[in-house]
Structure 1
Amino acid sequence: MTFSKDKNILKIQKIELEALKEVKEIATANDIHFFLRGGSVMGAVKYQGFVPWDDDTDIAVPRKDYSRLITLLSSEWSDKYWMASYLNGDEIHSYFPRVLLKPTYQDKLGLKSNNHLGFTIIDILPLDGVPASSFGRFFFKYEVMFFRLLGAVHTANYKDTISQHKGMRKKIISLLNKLHVEKMYSQNWTYDVLDKIYSSRMGNQSKWIGTITGSSFDKEIFPSEIWGRGTFLPFEDTTFRVPARWDDYLKQIYGENYALEVPRVKKTHQLK
């Protein structure tokens, strides 16, 4: 099936590719490696680049490198991009950091904001160890879910954050918001708690690892060999690292028929 790309999406994808290359250059210079994640892996496998209708990019960074990369990107590292993080005092309303366009560059490109901080183009997620037993992973999942829900209550009225939640989670967040439970704690407190949970196994050679801070929760947890050291696949005019067993990775997240199915086209490149 052939797609006619939206001109705005083409513009955004060009910007994202440029930012990814800048991040890759910094990472490589500091002996840090990262993986493409989620839909970006799908794009590398099926289209040797961006998914035609996709306008966001995610990367996953092993915890041992994650903190170093965040420190590097917290300084002035680009003329066009900057990184927002709750650890730097930014009101990002997200545990994981995000790379955004600098306001002057965003204005020059004529792009409307896609969240309350401006224009996000890359999400940076840690790749963490999780319990080895199925019993341990079960409780790990719900411990994480509990604190993520508590954190989300603080942003229940933000369109660009609440829209990331679906089904029962969205209903629970709305209920907790009506009960005003967020007055009992700060959002950053929940992020600090989650940081301790996520990073608690960073020193171990975990048999199971994943990006459970991502949108798919436990679907993003895999045996460590699925990620492995990764493999490089063509992506537009360059290459990026993806999970070593990318087929198993994509089947778990998107289903057995991911290679044949074409999801509905989404447009998220600007706020209405």
Structure 2
Amino acid sequence: MKLKKYDDETLKHIHNVELMILKDLISFCDENNLTYFMYAGSLLGTIRHEGFIPWDDDLDVVMLRDEFEKFKKLFLASPNQKYELLTNEAEKDYFYFFAKLSLKNTHFEEKWSSQLDFDMGFNIDIFVLDDLAENKYKRFYQLKKAYLYNRLLIMSKIRLDDLPFISKLITHSMYHILNILKLNPSKLTKKCLNFLKKYSDANSKNVFDISATAKEYPLIYDKDDFKDVIQVKFEDIYVNVPKNYDKILTELYGDYMQLPPEEDRYNHPIDIIDFGKY
């Protein structure tokens, strides 16, 4: 996948719009006593840059499953003129296990978005951490099946044409097979969530992110690492980060305070950008 750089003015505009969305998300969480954490590259940006990674163009937060389900229920219960929450409950063809808080009447879409039946506006990714089984055999099965669901979900909706020939052939074939079997994103997500509920355990020592895969497994964390919240500066506000952020970032990125080489500072390949009135 070929990545690109934005001009400085466009990237600054992107950051300003996404920061507005983050502020509104934080206000909603504060009003409803919900806990979120900055996550992945956005957690790295918070700690290393006190804001956005200068060349990055997205924002990620994460919630534990119980908090996310409360958030989703509350948000979807009241119509919102400014935002929509993209989930499988809201859009039957939505093909991620994480949600997106999407700004209405804007567009921030990759070229495969033409295959979708809904618009993808400027958004924040909201990832979810699920309990991981304690028994090593159940854990092995849970992780393998979760990884499979994650791959099938994407292949059930999106055909990527810029893959190597064999990978393209496999993904296109799976797309057609899944559609013949009528296993659309909504059905696959429901099956997966029912599967995950079987392993839900408040006493679990570990949680995992089904959406983020490292090699062949989803990312795994100690649950206690997301127990305590501290506030850290992000641009002109303060945001929630896990108290054990150093451990989390080290596991994700190694020496995370070290900047990557100049040639590796790229963005996502966004093809359609429309800021609307923002």
TM-score (norm 2): 0.80
Distance in 2, Cα, partners of 1:37 & 1:137: 23
1:242–1:135 CA distance, 2 compared to 1 (3 A): farther
Distance 2:151 2:206 in 1: 24
Matches within 5 A, 1:257-272: 257-262=255-260, 263-271=264-272
Looking at structure 2, the residues matched to 219 and 246 of structure 1 have their Cα atoms a distance apart, in angstroms, of 19
CA RMSD of aligned residues (A): 3.0
Structure 1: give runs of 5+ residues left out of the alignment: none
Following TM superposition, by how much is the alpha carbon of 1:240 offset from its aligned partner in structure 2, in angstroms?
1.4
Contact 1:55 1:268 in 2 (8 A): no
- Aligned CA distance change for structure 1 residues 269 and 78 (closer, same or farther; 3 Å): farther
Equivalence map 1:96-115=2 (5 Å): 96-103=98-105, 106=106, 113-114=109-110, 115=113
Match of 1:235 in 2: 234
> Is the 1:225–1:244 contact (alpha carbons within 8 Å) kept by the matching residues of 2?
no
Letter of the structure 1 residue corresponding to residue 180 of structure 2: K
Match runs of 1:184-263 below 5 Å: 184=181, 185-216=183-214, 218=217, 220-254=219-253, 256-262=254-260, 263=264
Deviations 1:118-173 (A, max 9, x none): 3242111222111224444332211111222222221232x5xx88x99x987753
In structure 1, C-alpha distance between the alignment counterparts of 2:231 and 2:38, rounded to whole Å: 10
Whether 1:32 and 2:34 are equivalent positions in the alignment is yes
Q: Where do residues 60-209 of structure 1 align in structure 2 (5 Å cutoff)?
A: 60-76=62-78, 78-103=80-105, 106=106, 113-114=109-110, 115=113, 116=116, 117-157=119-159, 159=160, 172-177=170-175, 180-184=177-181, 185-209=183-207
Instruction: Give the match's secondary structure for 2:89.
Output: helix
**Partners of 1:229 and 1:192 in 2: CA distance:** 31
Unaligned runs of 5+ in 2: 1-5, 274-278
Query: What's the offset of the Cα at 1:221?
Result: 0.8
Q: CA deviation at 1:29?
A: 1.3
Provide the rounded CA distance (Å) in 2 between the counterparts of 1:148 and 1:229: 29
Contact 1:84 1:90 in 2 (8 A): no
Residues 149, 173 of structure 1: 8 Å contact kept: no
AA partner of residue 99 (structure 1): L
What is the aligned residue count? 258
For normalisation by structure 1, the TM-score amounts to: 0.82
Fraction of identical pairs, as percent: 20
Which has the larger strand fraction? 2
